[in-house]
Amino acid sequence: MNSFVSSPIALEVMPEKPILLTRPYLPPLEEFLPYLAEIWESGRLTNGGPFHQQFEEQLRQYLGVPYVSLFANGTLALMTALQSLRVTGEVITTPYTFAATTHALLWNGIKPVFVDIRADTCNLDEDLVEAAITPRTTAILPVHCYGNPCASQRLQQIADTYGLKLIYDAAHAFGVSVGGQSLLDHGDLAMLSFHATKVFNTFEGGAIICHDLKLKQRIDYLKNFGFADEVTVVAPGINGKMNEFQAALGLLQLKHVAQAIAARLHIDQRYRQALAQVAGVHCLTISDGVKPNAGYFPLIIGPEYALSRDQLYEVFRSKDIHVRRYFFPLISNLPMYRGIASAAPANLPVATSIANRVLCLPIFPGLDSGTVDRIIEIIRAPV
């Protein structure tokens, strides 16, 4: 039997159970028990224990990046990334993202400046970035939305021209590469999330990818209260450390992640092929040279379709299929941001349109073919 289907939390197709947007893959429990026993025997639960060190190195090798710093979650990683580069003032970013992206800015006393997105990728529109730069701008914070690569070369040119830091929210981009190069190998820093909903998970968790040993050391100080040694505190740090339980799960997940991504890609292709001829249903394209991870499957519902996005959403919910309008509402429409001048909907027409039309379909290892067929048929004949 397929290991994903036999996983303890993989979906069993039963009419009385909801079909969720995603289910995290968990390896068989018997594979994890030896790790758990070793943690218990050692008594080392956190503070950079042996599994933490092993996971950091194996993850670095798997991703093909210079340095990795592990974190308890992705939000703490992004907050620390901004601290480590001493980012202040204003940061140009996207309104089409999860709340943690811009919350990390506010927690650092930084003002987000929103720039519209591209319709084809849902990423920050690189052609609009320069016009948003002011004397107070210190950095650009793009998001590789749904794992789709940003225009990294152009963004780097802009950052270099204006002396700005470039930090990527790569929460969706685990294992994604372009032309054989890791998507995480761009910018000054990149943040990963290992939340349970992600392609690769440690229940909660995250990481910062960097390219300089000195900067990694600063990041590691900051995530551990600023301690350089037992009696020396060099910075006003935070407690962002990943514990041994998370690290052990990460080590085990690395053994299975390629198979998990392959299962996701198979579902991705089935959706694309089956929905290609449905009027008013548009799938985001995958650019040439990109090795994707199929972390999400967003549809953009157009006016030619029989129903509005929200009507189709309600059809799915009535059948206990938990699709999601992701990302809706826009971050720029939330109370703590909508007073910012750049947050005005008139400044963000593409992001506003996409947020009002996007619908993400269930996609995860363990999603059986019968359920995929059912989802496809609902879209083909929703009424």
The pLDDT of residue 277 is 93
What the block records as the tokens of 138 is 């210190």
User: pLDDT digit string (tens) for 197-242?
Assistant: 999 999 999 999 999 999 999 999 999 999 999 999 999 999 999 9
The CA distance from 125 to 132, in Å, is 11
The pLDDT of residue 16 is 54
Q: CA nearest 194: which of 263, 262, 269, 245?
A: 245
The pLDDT of residue 73 is 98
The pLDDT of residue 5 is 36
The pLDDT of residue 23 is 86
The CA distance from 275 to 292, in Å, is 19
The pLDDT of residue 24 is 83
Amino acid at 334: L
User: pLDDT digit string (tens) for 3-21?
Assistant: 433 333 333 333 457 898 8
- Residues in the chain with pLDDT values less than 70: 1-16
Cβ atoms of residues 40 and 199 within 8 Å: no
Strand order in the sheet with 206-210: 67-71, 206-210, 189-193, 165-169, 137-141, 90-93, 111-114
Cβ atoms of residues 261 and 175 within 8 Å: yes
Cβ atoms of residues 174 and 199 within 8 Å: yes
Q: CA nearest 238: which of 249, 226, 248?
A: 226
Q: What is the DSSP string of 116-143?
A: -B-TTT-SB-GGGTGGG--TTEEEEE-B
The pLDDT of residue 3 is 40
Torsion of CA 255, 260, 261, 262, to 10 degrees: 110
Kindly list the structural domains of the chain, giving each domain's residue range(s) and its CATH number in brackets, ordered by start: 29-254 (3.40.640.10), 257-380 (3.90.1150.10)
Cβ atoms of residues 293 and 147 within 8 Å: yes
User: pLDDT digit string (tens) for 233-274?
Assistant: 999 999 999 999 999 999 999 999 999 999 999 999 999 999
The pLDDT of residue 2 is 39
